[in-house]
Amino acid sequence: MFHKEGHKIIFSALVMAIVLALLAHYFVENFWFQKTIEVGAVIFLILILQFFRNPKRTGTLANEHVLAPVDGKVVVIEEVFEKEYFKDKRLQVSVFMSPVNVHVTRYPISGKVLYSKYHPGKYLVAWHPKASEENERTTIVVENEVYGSILYRQIAGALAKRIVNYATVDEEVVQGTDAGFIKFGSRVDVFLPLDANIKVALNQKVKGGVDIIAE
């Protein structure tokens, strides 16, 4: 199953791969060069397909848990000052996505969307210390009665050129369902209350919509 954000790109990649293979077959005389182009076209198409895959997830949903919003590796767990919305100290958990990860963003908790804002910006590498404040990004705050408010931030990286965000203010959302997509890489920061019980460790790999990052 492929994410709807990739349908046009997948179609374009399919057409491009077919055209390259046909051109190589009919116009390239050198056998090995011809096969190299054909194999390269197939590999290119496979990479596009795997990038836009959207596997169904069946994590345990609970209002007292915060689920990982994306697939990737935990690269930050620290206390920080969140200055855009809360304007106080929070626990930040950041998950970095490589190009081979699923890039669907999922709601970490169920509840009501209180805040949703897009920020244009730079395309620094996702692990750059200033990426969270200077890169293209979206900031979303969701609240429920059990856990309270959490903030998650989709951050574009050096390759990512478009962030898709489905969250709208006052919308009731369901934990683990599609919240958006980051095209070609990056990271998501989650800002939690200071008394949150963190359930992941640095460098741990997590699955979005399945693994619990805090409770």
How far is the C-alpha of 162 from the C-alpha of 108, rounded, in Å? Answer: 21
At 15, which helix (H) or strand (E)? helix 7-27
- Max distance between CA atoms of the chain, in angstroms, equals 68
Pairing of strands 205-206, 162-165: unpaired
Tell me phi and psi for residue 32, to 5 degrees: -70, -35
Give the angle 192-193-197 at the CA atoms, nearest 5°. 80
Alpha-carbon distance 134 to 128, whole Å? 10
- DSSP string across 82-113: ETTTT-EEEEEEEEEE-TTS--EEE-SS-EEE
Question: For residue 104, how many other CB atoms are within 10 A of its CB?
Answer: 24
CA–CA distance, 45 with 153 (Å, rounded to integer) = 30
Question: Hey, is 64 helix, strand or coil?
Answer: coil
Residue 71 · residue 53 · CB < 8 Å = no
186 flagged as catalytic = yes
Q: Find the catalytic residue in 116, 132, 149, 186.
A: 186
Q: What is the number of residues in the chain? A: 215
What is the set of active-site residues?
A: 186
